[in-house]
Amino acid sequence: MSKNLEELKGELRGFVAERDWEKFHSPKNLTMALAGEAGELLEQFQWLTEEESYHLSGDKKVSVGEEIADILIYLVRLADKLEIDLLSEAYWKIEKNAAKYPVEKVRGKATKYTDL
């Protein structure tokens, strides 16, 4: 059976309910947990050069995979609590960015135009 974000949301609801942790998962607290995991992700990359960051060692890649999982997990939890649909928001944002950063204007330029 193929997995998707909808299923992951359900899986996490079960995990949290079983442990009676719902009370800790206010949206405010979940943003802190998510940002905390983003901080741990940074720590994996802070002393690497950009070039090195493309070629992680096996151990490093396992650690990075774990941080990435934590971020997705808290993101799905937060979106669930706020009744926000993750994929719809992402597609809507891409559309907005496409209008904001027209190809002919920003091609190959960094600075303020580089954000997705």
- Which residues between 54 and 73 bind a second copy (CB under 8 A)? 54, 56, 61, 64-66, 68-73
Question: Which residue from 1, 46, 58, 99 is in contact with a second copy, where contact means CB under 8 A?
Answer: 46
> Helix 5-18 vs helix 58-81: angle between axes, to the nearest 10 degrees?
80
**Residue of 10, 13, 80, 91 that binds a second copy (CB under 8 A):** 91
- Whether 16 contacts 77, CB under 8 Å: yes
Question: CA-CA distance, 4 to 52, in Å (whole number)?
Answer: 31
Q: Is 9 in the site for a second copy (CB under 8 A)?
A: no
Name which position in 1, 58, 99, 103 contacts a second copy (CB under 8 A).
Answer: 103
Counting contacts by CB under 8 A, is residue 100 touching a second copy? no
**Distance separating alpha carbons of residues 37 and 69, to the nearest angstrom:** 9
By CB atoms closer than 10 A (0-12, 13-18, 19+), residue 37 is buried
Binding string to a second copy for residues 71 to 90, with x set by CB under 8 A, is what? xxxxxxxxx-xx-x-xxxxx
Closest distance of CB 95 from a second copy, Å: 10
